[in-house]
Amino acid sequence: MENFTFYSPTKFVFGKGMEAEAGKLVKAFGGSKVLIHYGGGSVVRSGLLDRVKASLDSEGIPYVELGGVKPNPRSGLVYEGIELCKKEGVDFVLAVGGGSSIDSSKAIAAGVVYDGDFWDFYCGKPIEKALPVGTVLTIAAAGSEGSGDSVITKEEGMFKRGASGEGIRPKFSILNPELTQTLPPYQTACGITDIMAHLYERYLTNSKDVEVTDRLIEALLITMKNEGPKVIADPNDYQARANIMWAGTMAHTNSCGVGRSQDWNSHNIEHELSALYDCAHGAGLAVTMPAVFKYVMNHDVARFTQVANRVWGVETAEEGIEAFKQFLVSIGMPSTLGELGGKEEDIPTLVKNLCYGDGRDGTISGFVTLNEEDCTKIYQAMI
Amino acid sequence: MENFTFYSPTKFVFGKGMEAEAGKLVKAFGGSKVLIHYGGGSVVRSGLLDRVKASLDSEGIPYVELGGVKPNPRSGLVYEGIELCKKEGVDFVLAVGGGSSIDSSKAIAAGVVYDGDFWDFYCGKPIEKALPVGTVLTIAAAGSEGSGDSVITKEEGMFKRGASGEGIRPKFSILNPELTQTLPPYQTACGITDIMAHLYERYLTNSKDVEVTDRLIEALLITMKNEGPKVIADPNDYQARANIMWAGTMAHTNSCGVGRSQDWNSHNIEHELSALYDCAHGAGLAVTMPAVFKYVMNHDVARFTQVANRVWGVETAEEGIEAFKQFLVSIGMPSTLGELGGKEEDIPTLVKNLCYGDGRDGTISGFVTLNEEDCTKIYQAMI
């Protein structure tokens, strides 16, 4: 196990009706004027936005609103949010939605207190300072509610890049599994896939003697394998929704990823797909992961065999990858580039953006360092 | 799954040589004058105390010292520590040692800023305010490095009682597995037993639909089952020490115990043993747990069967309890009251202290509510 620091000072408030606590929590963490930042109409139609506003009202906390966050959130709305916060004297950003609303909120929170272009943070500058951020989560997927990470797509060039830093870790996150019950099956399955990707990316390590974190990751993968199909069969299964929601948060606070190197190549390879085709991140990952895993399997076949045995109950590394792929198909996820709207002739563009975009040197590093040829073969295997 | 709040804002700094960070961490969390609180001579002899002092010196942070914490830490030294802190203007308490030093530090930290007798907190008053506490952990066992809990024994009457509150949750904890390598096998095994008890107490729940936390607890139990014998066989096995140390912390931050009722009857029943016989808490738990588990097994035999299958690889609930008992014996733990220095004629005293001590009403509640007769039978089964 390698040396590490683990610090996860987010307060998680979990359960039915907990969005009513939003006002009290904003106040407890020092907010006196709030930007409520959200996506489409679903949080409006469901009445969630009104409940959150009522909670702020009851604490006497004023707010402004900015909706319109899209999946794969864009830099344009971030700039708009930063301006709005500055103009209105906002000192707390409250995300209401899924990973996209949260990531966009984090970018705004960092940008408001920064003297330059917020995109600097998405080119490698760590985020040390930001307005405090809170979240009311509506989708179990990205894990952004418990992480110091954010992913934004820059509209010029459609580059999708991540930023990190303690400054943007949420002060609190409200997790009410009921709010996820209205999600369509496809988005639910995308969330399940994203959570499992966060686990697999941590599992694929070159570090040795990592029994405790291996076992924790496997525990969460087994949970997803068992609970995932339940919510696809019955979207109103509160208990399965609850198990998935906590697993999704635990998958990405890094409590099970410490002391070990991690991969994240599947995420990098997928980011080019959702940037170019604007497909759902989870759907992109469902196509990407089996292709990547088969390509890198022989780098450490014992590791792939271990997860095959312990999680999927099959014998060989290859059977484990196939079982995972079939699981993803069974919950409604795509398995080919074509299903995402991709075409073979796009592959050179995907590879170029991946390996050279935003200052990369022609390779992406992780469990295995992959060059242009490797990445080309991986994209081709998705056809 | 039940509604819950999970908040674990302790910064964990894990790995070789990390005690050198103590000074920087105290400064980062606002300390300007420190009480270093520790136990016996081992932290002196090993040079650890000097390394911690050097780290404070290099940051220019003055300190006073108070050693002498005993296992099952006593109220007398807590009063002494409170007086010392007040006299010296201490504003940060740094525990160097195991759970006893940490628990005693927490009691001092709470007492310094409280106008009454600190023992009030150990009679049920929640601890909201305390001086900030940091820890340099030397034993993987109590989990106190990541919890808002403390257990102290009151010398008059030898009552062993717990207190809780966010105020005493450590701001940081330094976890260097090397520091545990000098522990004798018996103390190492006591720590392993305590960690497994923290997991079993959370596993024994009457809550339903708790797949994710069941799986996480099982993951940590399997880790202890696999890594425990390695450190008994080779005390210098750094990697096994590291796996156990992180498992021990994760077992008690409550990340795997949220959203479910918990037991803690084994801890309550054991506390009377270590209070009366001054035996090691872990050794007391090794004797207590199998007796309690066999007594309450039929309350939910499916739960005991599940852990038997998934952790111990055996078929029935009873076989699972027996496998756990044999595991404890195999790492050098006792299995009878006599081995702890106990005698059958003490049982009425143990039961009286347990069921009526410090204002209890004749029962202890948890997975199963136990009355005097139940507790008598459980102590008798330990003979």
Instruction: Tell me which chain B residues have a C-beta less than 8 angstroms from the C-beta of A6.
Output: 11-12, 14
Instruction: Tell me which chain B residues have a C-beta less than 8 angstroms from the C-beta of A242.
Output: 1, 209, 259
Return the SS3 of A184.
Answer: coil
Rounded distance between C-alpha atoms, residue B247 and residue B269, angstroms: 24
pTM of this prediction? 0.97
Q: How far is CA A365 from the centre of its chain?
A: 20
Residue B249 has pLDDT above 80, yes or no: yes
Burial class (CB in 10 A: 0-12, 13-18, 19+), B332: middle
Residue B121 has a pLDDT of 97
Instruction: Tell me which chain A residues have a C-beta less than 8 angstroms from the C-beta of B11.
Output: 5-7, 9
Rounded mean pLDDT, B90-107:
98
Residue A187: how many CB atoms within 10 A of its CB? Answer: 19
Residue B160 has a pLDDT of 80
Rounded distance between C-alpha atoms, residue B31 and residue A1, angstroms: 31
Q: Does B7 contact A5 at a Cβ distance shorter than 8 Å?
A: no
Please state, for a pLDDT cut of 90, what percent of chain B lies above it. Answer: 95
Question: What ipTM did this prediction achieve?
Answer: 0.97
Minimum distance, in Å, between the CA of residue A345 and any CA atom of chain B: 43
What's the CATH code, domain B11-179?
A: 3.40.50.1970
Q: Does A219 contact B218 at a Cβ distance shorter than 8 Å?
A: yes
Task: Return all residues near A13 (Cβ < 8 A) that are at least 6 apart.
Answer: A21, A25, A172, A173, A174, A175, B5
Task: Return all residues near A215 (Cβ < 8 A) that are at least 6 apart.
Answer: B219, B220, B222, B223
Three-point CA angle B240, B244, B247, nearest 5°: 140
What residues of chain A score a pLDDT lower than 50?
Answer: none
Residue A383 has a pLDDT of 95
Tens of pLDDT, residues B264-295: 999 999 999 998 998 999 999 999 999 999 99
Alpha-helical (H) ranges within A175-237 are 185-203, 211-233
Residue B45 has a pLDDT of 94
Rounded distance between C-alpha atoms, residue B281 and residue B157, angstroms: 18
Confidence of residue B157 (pLDDT cuts 50, 70, 90): confident
Instruction: Tell me which chain B residues have a C-beta less than 8 angstroms from the C-beta of A222.
Output: 215
Minimum distance, in Å, between the CA of residue B381 and any CA atom of chain A: 34
User: Nearest Cα to B47, choosing from B126, B157, B138, B144?
Assistant: B138
Q: Does B250 contact A216 at a Cβ distance shorter than 8 Å?
A: yes
Three-point CA angle B133, B228, B196, nearest 5°: 60
Beta strand extents in B206-275 (DSSP E only):
none
Q: Does B212 contact A218 at a Cβ distance shorter than 8 Å?
A: no
Beta strand extents in A112-171 (DSSP E only):
133-137, 149-154, 159-164
Residue A359 has a pLDDT of 78
Tens of pLDDT, residues B171-213: 999 999 999 999 999 999 999 999 999 999 999 999 999 999 9
Residue A275 has a pLDDT of 87
Residue B210 has a pLDDT of 98
Residue A211 has a pLDDT of 98
Residue B159 has a pLDDT of 80
Confidence of residue B359 (pLDDT cuts 50, 70, 90): confident
Element (H, E) at A364: strand A363-364
Instruction: Work out the end-to-end distance of chain B between its first and last CA atoms, rounded to an integer number of angstroms.
Output: 38
Return the SS3 of B256.
Answer: coil
Q: Name the phi and psi angles at B331, rounded to 5.
A: -95, 10
Task: Return all residues near B183 (Cβ < 8 A) that are at least 6 apart.
Answer: B138, B139, B191, B235
Confidence of residue B161 (pLDDT cuts 50, 70, 90): confident
Instruction: Tell me which chain B residues have a C-beta less than 8 angstroms from the C-beta of A215.
Output: 219-220, 222-223
Residue A154, beta-bridge partner list: A159
Alpha-helical (H) ranges within A130-184 are none
Residue B96, beta-bridge partner list: B38, B136
Q: Does B212 contact A4 at a Cβ distance shorter than 8 Å?
A: no
Residue B364, beta-bridge partner list: B370
Rounded distance between C-alpha atoms, residue A213 and residue B216, angstroms: 10
User: Which of B2, B18, B223 faces A3 most closely, judged by CB atoms?
Assistant: B18
Burial class (CB in 10 A: 0-12, 13-18, 19+), B157: exposed
What's the CATH code, domain A183-380?
A: 1.20.1090.10
Residue A233 has a pLDDT of 97
DSSP states along A317-340: HHHHHHHHHHHHHHTT---STGGG
Rounded distance between C-alpha atoms, residue B183 and residue B191, angstroms: 10
Minimum distance, in Å, between the CA of residue A214 and any CA atom of chain B: 9
Residue B158 has pLDDT above 80, yes or no: no
Q: How is chain A split into domains, by residue range?
A: 11-179, 183-380
User: Which of A209, A218, A239 faces B1 most closely, judged by CB atoms?
Assistant: A239
